[in-house]
Structures are given as structure tokens and as C-alpha cells.
Structure 1
């Protein structure tokens, strides 16, 4: 998708894309192409050659990180207890998300801490669940449209 439509998307969204997003897109577009170099293997019997291009190794690349993502997911699934789980999403309002652009560490730390504290407090309340809960949180700073959209996915 990036190779076919990335340039048009970047042009249509100029001024709204961060340098980090541009770097990720560039890495993914170049992944496993001649742009990153590669190596040739040759069969000693028939002299058939195979070119293997280098990968970008970017943590956002679906080709490079698919195995790592599967391993991470399997490790998290192995930790699951035989109880019901809930998926919650906490999203920053646009005004605060705009502040996060220049104060990432502070705002993202607050988002993670406040979302966890909120769930722990509500779950402990006997009017709701009256229990101590376990939480796994993952911070996402981009939305599916590749725009700045800080939010936390939480499994409770």
C-alpha cells in the first residue's frame, strides 16, 4: 500500500505528518527492495541465483515484525488466567493530544498512569466489581489513518 499510494497520501496530508511517521513509511516502502541492498545465493549444482533483499527491521514494519508480534502475543496469552477479560480504550481529547506532540513523555506517562488508576479504582468499588484487577496496557500514538491519535488499549 505504501509503495503504491504512499506518495499521494503524503501529498494529501502534507503538514499533518510527523517526521517519525515519514521515516516509518520510508522504511516500510524500502523494506526488502534493492534500496536496502541484499545478497545473492547461488546453487552450486545448477548455478541458479536467488536475490534476497535486506529488511528495514523497523518496529512498525508488518513484514519485519510479524514474527516478533506473534511471539509477543503468544507470551501474553500464556499469562492469561481462566477469567473473563475486557478490552478498554482510553483516548486523549484533541486539545491534550496536541499538547502531547511537544510533551510526549509527560503526557503519555500521565495517560498510562491515569487510565490504569481509573480502572483500578472503579473495579475496587463494591458498587461495580469490588475486586482487584490485573491490567495490560499498550500505548498507541497513531491511529489507523496514520494520524496523531494517542490512545491506550487496555486488557483488564
Structure 2
């Protein structure tokens, strides 16, 4: 924990949680490397994209992401916890752009972009033959069945949770170290 203290900025931090729907988590269970990698990528990209939008913040942000694969009930529940400073660097990198006090990014916008990026990535993995299916999921090996399985998820709301600011690094470090 002490070694990481110098890596954190003296600003407040926001906490986001990006969760996969339970039905997609079943696919992840048998395809951990591919799907968990996609989960990291498709949760980070919306934060960076929306924060960089000049209508939002217009800043290049960083983050620390941690993958948890089990929930508190000890069931398979893949989700990413993300800690993001309350601002970022200007496009030229010459100055810090702080977010509005106690507000970072719209959760609904993050959720919809996360959903789209994840589903597109999952389809790409399927088309590239990088997913395996077993038991009652075997039928998903066929492209049409896989596309039909994912179709309802394109319209459902995905859980992206945002917690209010933690406070400074002294509050973030104990959380991350757990």
C-alpha cells in the first residue's frame, strides 16, 4: 500500500462498477481469458471516450481497474471495479481539467456505450472462433443462435454503478489494497 501512495494524485476519486448480465456471465465462465479481457477493454473505453468529449470534460483520464469474478454470495459474477481521478489532462497535456464537483460522467451514457462495445466485441470473438461452448450452451457455437441469444441484451439496461467521490488518495488506497 505504501509503494502505491506515490502513484496516486492528490485529488478525489470516483468509483465505478461495470457488471455483466448473468446470462453473459455464463459464457464468460467457459471463456475466461477472452471475455475478461473484453470486459476490461469495454469498461475502460467508455470512460476514456466520454471524458475526452469536449462537451463533457474534454480531458484524457486514467484509471485503475480490478476484475472480480465472484460476488458476495460466492456465485460467478464477473464485474470490474474502476477508480478514476476526478479530472484529467487537457488534450495537449499542458494542464489539469477537473470535473464538476461531485459529478464525473453520466452513468446511463457510460452504460449504453459499455453495452454496445462489449456486445460488438463478443460477436467479434465468436466470429474469430475464440469462444467455446459446453453443455446447455453448445448451441451457441452456431452464429445465428449466438446472435439471437445476444439480441435481447442490445436493448436491456446494463448495470454501471457510480459511487460518489471517495475523497483523496488516503481513502482510495485502503479500498484498493483489499
Tell me which residue corresponds to 1:118: 46
- Post-superposition CA distance 1:9-56 (Å, at most 9, x none): xxxxxxxxxxxxxxxxxxxxxxxxxxxxxxxxxxxxxxxxxxxxxxxx
Tell me how far apart the structure 2 counterparts of residues 149 and 91 of structure 1 sit (CA, whole Å): 8
2:69 matches 1:141: yes
Tell me how far apart the structure 2 counterparts of residues 87 and 143 of structure 1 sit (CA, whole Å): 17
Tell me which residue corresponds to 1:88: 16
Tell me how far apart the structure 2 counterparts of residues 147 and 118 of structure 1 sit (CA, whole Å): 27
Bigger Rg, which one: 1
Superposition pairs of residues 98-113 of structure 1, within 5 angstroms = 98-113=26-41
SS at match of 2:27: helix
Tell me how far apart the structure 2 counterparts of residues 81 and 137 of structure 1 sit (CA, whole Å): 16
Superposition pairs of residues 44-59 of structure 1, within 5 angstroms = none
2:49 matches 1:130: no
- 5+ residue gaps, structure 1, are 1-72
CA RMSD across the alignment: 1.1
SS at match of 1:86: strand
Tell me how far apart the structure 2 counterparts of residues 154 and 124 of structure 1 sit (CA, whole Å): 17
Tell me the matched-pair count.
Answer: 84
- 5+ residue gaps, structure 2, are 85-178
Q: CA deviation at 1:113?
A: 0.6
Q: TM-score, normalising length from structure 1?
A: 0.51
Tell me which residue corresponds to 1:151: 79
Tell me which residue corresponds to 1:40: none
Higher relative contact order (CA 8 A, sep 6+): 2
Tell me how far apart the structure 1 counterparts of residues 51 and 20 of structure 2 sit (CA, whole Å): 21
Q: CA deviation at 1:95?
A: 1.5
